[in-house]
Amino acid sequence: MIKKILKVSAIVAFATVVLNASSYNAQAEKDRLALRDYMMKKFSNPLKDRAKFFPYSTDKELHDGSLIAVKNIEDFRLGTYAFAKNAKEQYDDIKEMPPYLDNIDAGEEIYNSNIAIKKCFPNPAIVQNYPMFDEAKRKVITLTGAINNCLKAAGQKPWSWTKGKIADLEAYFASMTQEAGKRIDIKINSKAAQAAYERGKKEYYSQRGYLKLSCANCHVQGAGKRVRAEYLSPLLGATTHFPVYRLKWQSLGTLERRIKGCEKNQGETPHKPSGQWTAEMLYFMAYMSNGLPIDGPDIRK
């Protein structure tokens, strides 16, 4: 009997711990599920739901097959290529001989030759956990930040936050993570982490710049619509595939680099890629893609 009571109370205690740990992400979970639901509804039959989701799209855009239905939620890791048929065909062509293969090799060489890096990241398949909330430092650390922190701690000079060596190393990490079949797994385990998530979310939904646009205007409500020749990608899946080789850049870049470009598009002076503003924004964005497979490095226009 006593044994049984002990067992039951152990289970209750365990359940309480689990509940407490998970309750910090309760709102984030609601947000994530709502976003998944919205995107699946929006893209599972763009023609049928035209009045609701695409009131301003032309017949041509909807009928000539350039906008196709998304059947599998995991396709959102492809950004616009999940639903933009013509662009997807070009993407598939480039993927046959992707321009980032040399970057992965360069990244592997950096990993094997830099003892400090190897010591900080004994397992290179770790992309799924970043950005993470560092409970000791009480701030969000992106993968780029973690690499630079590691270099600094070893007395080495930090690298650029946006391109070059850091992007190469992240390309190697991403390809190892993809090979290991990992899915995005962002944790919110404390009140401070929850507050960082909420700040990131607030910034994502805030209108700013002289155009008074929020990120969400383009990547939530606007996802699937066209801006000049480009379709807008959904927030869901926005962080699964970095670093990215952009044809526009003709080089590889980190998530921090990509965000900077979009802030400029918004008509705003970009925040520092190494600052908490950027890290918290990415923390929120990555949480939204929890459960989607890591798919980097990848290519984008």
| Residues at the contact surface with ligand HEC, assessed by CB under 6 A | 79-80, 213, 215, 217-219, 227, 230, 232-233, 238, 244, 258-259, 262-263, 265-266, 281, 300
Q: Nearer to ligand HEC by C-beta: 160 or 217?
A: 217
Inter-residue contact 69 to 45 (CB < 8 Å): yes
Q: Nearer to ligand HEC by C-beta: 168 or 263?
A: 263
Inter-residue contact 246 to 79 (CB < 8 Å): no
Neighbours of 260 (CB within 10 A): 20
Q: Nearer to ligand HEC by C-beta: 128 or 254?
A: 254
Minimum CB distance to ligand HEC, residue 30 (Å)? 21
Question: What single letter denotes the amino acid at residue 73?
Answer: I
DSSP assignments along 214-261, one per residue: -HHHHHTTTTT-EETTEEPPPSTTTTTT-SEEETTTTEEE-HHHHHHH
262 catalytic residue (yes or no): yes
Token code pair at residue 255 = 């998530």
Q: Are strands 298-300 and 244-246 parallel, antiparallel or unpaired?
A: parallel
Question: What single letter denotes the amino acid at residue 280?
Answer: E
Closest alpha carbon to 28 in 173, 212, 220, 201: 201
Inter-residue contact 95 to 249 (CB < 8 Å): no
Q: What's 245's DSSP letter?
A: E
CA 72/CA 51 separation, integer angstroms: 23
Q: Nearer to ligand HEC by C-beta: 182 or 225?
A: 225
Q: Which of 120, 215, 218, 262 is catalytic?
A: 262
Minimum CB distance to ligand HEC, residue 295 (Å)? 10
Count, residues in the chain: 301
Q: Nearer to ligand HEC by C-beta: 110 or 235?
A: 235
Minimum CB distance to ligand HEC, residue 210 (Å)? 12
Minimum CB distance to ligand HEC, residue 21 (Å)? 28
Token code pair at residue 101 = 């293969």
Minimum CB distance to ligand HEC, residue 234 (Å)? 8
Q: Which residues are catalytic?
A: 262
